[in-house]
Amino acid sequence: MPGAAAGDGERTIVVLLGPPGAGKGTQGEQLAAALGIPKISTGDVLRAAVRDGTALGREAKAFMERGDLVPDPVILGIMKDALSQPSAARGAILDGVVRTVPQAEGLQTALSQLGRVTTVVLVFAIDDDVLVRRISERTVCEACQTPYTGHMPGSACPKCGGRLVRRADDEPDAVRQRLKVYHAQTAPVITWYATHGVRVVPIDAVGTRSEVQARVLRAFSR
């Protein structure tokens, strides 16, 4: 299976869904390497379009400079451009691209214009309490910005001796709020995909990176 994303002329698009801290970014990188296709995130393509000064990039920049959210049609247009590049001729792993039902609908419409496309949705599942503990264990050095896991806030950075702090959005209450928003937005997305003929595969996200990766590869190969 590694290195063979799809048949000739067909793209395999893997949409990653999962709560913050579930490890989908890391697993997406590993799956992209195994399949030989790029991993693409909304932030990456948006920054690239703005940097390159494309028409859609200039439009997005105008929203960003006003402090407004970039609307879905602009994001999806930029995403379609990215998926039209030769590097994505065989497909791509999409991380953070779909968060709402309108985004899922818009993406499928864009994909339908790219020829033969097979879409697979991987949903990384993990208990909220486990995620709260996992994320709240993350700290970063105020001085050198080195990230750590399992070091208490206020302790000394092993690298430079600076003070370790927990980011505001990694505080337990903030994590619970982020999870609440995720569940409210994503449950309808999963239902939408499942009722529109798209393969939805749940992935147990508890375990080591290699254990979760093995589950991803097994599920994908099936």
**Active site includes 99?**
yes
**Cα–Cα distance measured from residue 216 to residue 214, given in angstroms and rounded to the nearest whole number:** 5
**Cα–Cα distance measured from residue 60 to residue 71, given in angstroms and rounded to the nearest whole number:** 8
From the number of C-beta atoms within 10 Å of its C-beta (0-12, 13-18, 19+), residue 187 rates as exposed
Exactly one of 24, 39, 80, 90 is catalytic; which is it? 24
91-95 and 10-17 beta bridge pairing = parallel
Exactly one of 11, 39, 80, 138 is catalytic; which is it? 138
**Active site includes 116?**
no
Which residues, 6+ apart, have CB-to-CB distance to 129 below 8 Å? Answer: none
**Residues 138 and 146: beta-carbon distance below 8 Å:** no
Exactly one of 39, 80, 178, 215 is catalytic; which is it? 178
**Cα–Cα distance measured from residue 149 to residue 122, given in angstroms and rounded to the nearest whole number:** 26
Closest alpha carbon to 9 in 85, 112, 82, 115? 115
**Cα–Cα distance measured from residue 122 to residue 120, given in angstroms and rounded to the nearest whole number:** 7
**Active site includes 199?**
no
164-165 and 39-41 beta bridge pairing = unpaired
**Cα–Cα distance measured from residue 62 to residue 83, given in angstroms and rounded to the nearest whole number:** 23
**Active site includes 218?**
no
**Active site includes 138?**
yes
> Would you please indicate which residues are annotated as catalytic (active-site) residues?
24, 99, 138, 167, 178
